[in-house]
Amino acid sequence: MRDTLCRMMMRFVREEPGNRFPEEGSPYFAEPLIGFAAADDPLFAQYKTVIGPFHLTPAELALEESPPWRPATVICWALPISEETRRSNRSETTYPSRSWALTREHGEAFNAALRRQVVQFLVDAGYRALAPQLHPAWREYRDSPVGIASSWSERHAAYAAGLGTFSLNDALITPAGIAHRLGSVITDAHLEPTARTSTDHRSNCLWYREGSCGACIGRCPVGALSRDGHDKRRCREHVYATVPGAVGEKFGVTSTGCGLCQTKVPCEDRVPAGKLSPLAVRQPGAGGE
């Protein structure tokens, strides 16, 4: 079942027209990375402390269904942003490139379609399934103890599924890098979890691994990144207010993203090598929202 599901997802990303720029027909996203976590993994309960009590566990989301059901697996994926789009964003210093903005709006619409496709595939196979990001129980909280957060973090689910670890800018560094979109679906199908090979929730980031790099700090046009981490409110004001106001109409989108700190950095499309192996870092924790 796991292999069949992965093949379906790979084919959907490869062949679905929604994963294409309308003009040239090139893809928004490359081949996805797919991981699996047990729905009862202790990390999901731990996120209620790390992120906030409002963060829902897979079981709590399934209880919101009618009739309620018991989840078994969380399916997660990362959609790596195409090399052409990443290249176009490297030269930008204030606002994202047009390709990046189109990927944020239309590519994320495709990501939502992939969520629905995975849910339908599982339902057709006789299982229950839901996509947390599309669920009525999904909420955003702007004044949580960790700043702006939501009732389901795709990044934290992906970490639980072994897809990567966190970075200085709070994104997830996967084997395909930090420039991606994430998605997840919860199901009662029992699928073998993906092993988490990192020993620390930040081991893929050079800054946390060995105190080097920090390239993302200089890439932020509004100073939302520093050695102390990520100012989420300042970042959000730029990404969701300033940038759309400046280039949204020009690019024909309402959601533009930014992505400057995810491009022209060593972790753009890989886990950077550095001097120390990611496995050499040993600090406990599950990551901050």
pLDDT band of residue 282 (cuts 50, 70, 90) is very low
Q: Could you tell me if residue 91 is inside a domain?
A: yes
Condensed to tens digits (0 to 9), the pLDDT of residues 6-34 reads 999 999 999 999 999 998 899 999 999 99
- If residue 88 lies in a helix (H) or strand (E), which one and from where to where? helix 83-90
Q: And the tokens for 164? A: 């990567």
Please state the pTM of the whole predicted model.
0.93
Condensed to tens digits (0 to 9), the pLDDT of residues 158-207 reads 999 999 999 999 999 999 999 999 999 999 999 999 999 887 999 999 99
Q: Could you tell me if residue 206 is inside a domain?
A: yes
Q: Could you tell me if residue 12 is inside a domain?
A: yes
Q: Could you tell me if residue 70 is inside a domain?
A: yes
Residue ranges making up the domain that contains 271: 2-280
Q: Could you tell me if residue 287 is inside a domain?
A: no
Condensed to tens digits (0 to 9), the pLDDT of residues 90-110 reads 999 999 999 999 999 999 999
Q: What is the DSSP letter of 174?
A: B
How many folded domains does the chain comprise? 1
Q: Could you tell me if residue 286 is inside a domain?
A: no
Cross-strand bridge partners of residue 81 = 29
Percent of the chain scoring above 70 in pLDDT? 96
What number of H helices and E strands is found in the chain?
Answer: 12, 10
Q: Could you tell me if residue 93 is inside a domain?
A: yes
pLDDT at 279: 67
189: which residues sit within 8 A by CB, 6+ positions away?
A: 1, 72, 73, 122, 125, 127, 129
Q: Is the pLDDT of residue 283 over 50?
A: no
| Average pLDDT, integer, range 114-141 | 96
pLDDT at 176: 98
Look at residue 6 and give its three-state secondary structure: helix
Q: Could you tell me if residue 273 is inside a domain?
A: yes
